[in-house]
């Protein structure tokens, strides 16, 4: 210890630190083994891709695909952090519709995603028409920003109403006679037993069901240019119509949450009889409330007015391609394989119930099968009939703020309705309140949107 006066222990620690640090520093940088990295947040997507990716790798010798399942919220955060730091960005990723627009902030040149416009408009292989002509156009709307398309839609998610067929039949209700929401509300008043049974799953505190109703009527949060329209006349009228259905003495809707065990129990007990049901949710019902097999059925959404839109949409997923990727052609090939390859369609549809957005694929027999769970109906047929009518969901980076503000406006209006009495004070007064409240909430979104100067 002549040259190191601090003792053996200190020398040992120092030696250990230097050795381990040196060993780590000398390690070769881990090479990214996979040719392509693909992130998804949906377990159903992950499971179906996992099965078919080996086939893609077999068809493309030397190519490997690293498929990762990342949680819904973590995915958006990780994408933003990864783009900020230029680290660990996947080559392709799927992101939920409500989280996609946040990735389109800032100057166009700085957006970390590839503009898919040129590929979508290019003719397909073997003389097939451009993909743009094959996909339901409305589904590009949420992924379009300043004229650039940054996402390939995974789905359409047209909406029907799932209902407890057994309870309706027992009550002598013929759902074929329900054509408009007025008809629906009339039946709902008869079927609702306060505290025990409600006609429909509708919330008085969040806009989860209000939102698809708004889209069905041609409204929305933003117009095609990204301007806030959530306080326009359509929105005001939708809110005025919706609030008495979830508040006051004649309410016909209630909610216990849209997923999980509590919701499962509510479906089983017939606490609510009808549910907003896009294609993806029909699979949730099959999985989560499996012993309702044969007792559930689907009906088209009632019309807001004769001649109105028979459907709306709820949810969505886009596939994005990052600029970081050095194999753009290969990534596109993988996307086409996962989304369009006919040999994989049947498996994927049966495991997810999700109708692809490419119209020419709908002729496949798998989309016309009868489903025992849904009282032996051809549910694919009915979703296909509605698919061309799904409304466009235009977006903006502050979409999350807008959805929160719509919920807040709903809570405000429900509170007013409960405390002031809609009938006593007359429609005009309530409508005036709704209008002012929605403008206030929309202005808050506008203030937030103005801060993104691009």
**Which residues touch 218 (CB under 8 Å, ≥6 apart)?**
234, 309, 391
- Which one, 311 or 401, has the nearer CB to other proteins? 401
Residue 236 binding other proteins, by CB under 8 A: no
Q: What's the Cα-to-Cα distance from 390 to each of 17, 214, 219, 312, 340, rounded to whole Å?
A: 62, 12, 12, 5, 20
8 lines the binding site for other proteins (CB under 8 A):
no
Please tell me the count of residues contacting other proteins according to CB under 8 A: 53
Q: What contacts 71, CB < 8 A, 6 or more positions away?
A: 41
Residue from the set 112, 212, 278, 316 that interacts with other proteins by CB under 8 A: 112
Asked if residue 325 binds other proteins (CB under 8 A), the reply is no
Check binding of 206 to other proteins (CB under 8 A). Answer: yes
Torsion angle (degrees, nearest 10) of CA 401, 402, 406, 408: 20
Residue 77 in contact with other proteins, rule: CB under 8 A: yes
Q: Does 261 bind other proteins (CB under 8 A)?
A: yes
Residue 400 engages other proteins in binding (rule: CB under 8 A): yes
Binding other proteins by CB under 8 A: which of 17, 122, 171, 372?
A: 17
Range in contact with other proteins (rule: CB under 8 A) among 30-38, 263-271, 287-295, 428-436: 263-271
Between 161 and 445, whose beta carbon lies closer to other proteins? Answer: 445
Task: Please report how close the Cβ of residue 1 comes to other proteins at its closest, in angstroms.
Answer: 13
User: Binding of other proteins at residue 103 (CB under 8 A)?
Assistant: yes
Is position 102 an interface residue for other proteins (rule: CB under 8 A)?
A: yes
DSSP-assigned letter for residue 94: E
The pair of three-digit structure tokens given for residue 91, joined into one six-digit string: 């080559």
By CB under 8 A, is residue 16 in contact with other proteins? no
Give CA angle at 254 (189, 303), nearest 5°: 60
Confirm or reject binding of residue 397 to other proteins (CB under 8 A): yes
Name the burial class of residue 165, with classes exposed (0-12), middle (13-18) and buried (19+) by CB atoms within 10 angstroms of its CB.
buried
Tokens representing residue 5 in the block: 């006066």
167 binds other proteins (CB under 8 A): no
**Inter-helix orientation angle 233-246/427-450, to 10°:** 120
* 391 within 8 A of 313, measured Cβ to Cβ: yes
Binding site residues, other proteins, CB under 8 A: 5-6, 10, 14, 17, 73, 76-77, 80, 83-84, 99, 102-107, 110-112, 195, 203-206, 254-257, 260-262, 265-266, 271, 397-398, 400-401, 404, 407-408, 411-412, 415, 444, 447-448, 451-454
């Amino acid at each position: 210890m002549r040259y190191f006066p601090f003792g053996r222990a200190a020398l040992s620690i120092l030696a250990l630190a230097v050795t381990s640090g040196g060993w780590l520093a000398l390690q070769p940088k881990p090479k990214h083994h996979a040719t392509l990295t693909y992130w998804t947040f949906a377990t159903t997507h992950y499971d179906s891709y996992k099965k078919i990716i080996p086939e893609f790798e077999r068809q493309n010798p030397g190519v490997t695909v690293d498929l990762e399942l990342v949680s819904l919220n973590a995915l958006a955060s990780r994408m933003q952090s990864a783009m900020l730091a230029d680290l660990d960005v996947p080559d392709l990723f799927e992101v939920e519709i409500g989280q996609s627009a946040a990735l389109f902030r800032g100057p166009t040149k700085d957006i970390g995603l590839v503009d898919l416009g040129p590929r979508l408009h290019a003719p397909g292989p073997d003389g097939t028409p451009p993909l743009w002509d094959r996909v339901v156009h409305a589904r590009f709307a949420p992924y379009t920003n300043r004229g650039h398309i940054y996402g390939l839609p995974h789905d359409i998610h047209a909406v029907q109403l799932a209902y407890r067929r057994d309870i309706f039949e027992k009550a002598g209700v013929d759902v074929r006679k329900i054509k408009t929401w007025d008809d629906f509300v009339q039946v709902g008043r008869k079927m609702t037993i306060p505290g025990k049974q409600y006609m429909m799953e509708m919330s008085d505190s969040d806009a989860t069901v209000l939102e698809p109703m708004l889209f069905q009527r041609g409204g929305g949060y933003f117009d095609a240019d990204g301007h806030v329209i959530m306080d326009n006349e359509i929105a005001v009228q939708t809110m005025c119509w919706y609030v008495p259905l979830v508040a006051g003495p004649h309410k016909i809707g209630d909610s216990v949450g849209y997923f999980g065990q509590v919701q499962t129990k509510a479906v089983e007990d017939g606490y609510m009889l009808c549910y907003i049901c896009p294609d993806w949710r029909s699979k949730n019902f099959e999985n989560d409330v499996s012993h309702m097999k044969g007792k559930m059925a689907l009906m088209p959404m009632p019309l807001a007015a004769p001649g109105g839109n028979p459907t709306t949409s709820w949810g969505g997923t886009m596939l994005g391609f990052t600029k970081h990727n050095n194999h753009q052609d290969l990534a596109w090939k993988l996307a086409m394989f996962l989304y369009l390859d006919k040999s994989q369609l049947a498996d994927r549809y049966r495991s997810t119930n999700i109708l692809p957005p490419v119209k020419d694929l709908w002729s496949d027999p798998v989309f016309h099968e009868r489903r025992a769970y849904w009282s032996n109906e051809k549910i694919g047929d009915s979703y296909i009939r509605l698919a061309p009518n799904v409304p466009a969901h235009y977006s903006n980076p502050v979409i999350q703020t807008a959805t929160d503000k719509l919920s807040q406006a709903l809570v405000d209006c429900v509170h007013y309705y409960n405390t002031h009495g809609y009938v006593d004070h007359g429609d005009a007064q309530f409508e005036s309140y709704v209008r002012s409240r929605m403008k206030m909430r929309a202005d808050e979104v506008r203030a937030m949107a103005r801060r993104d100067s691009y």
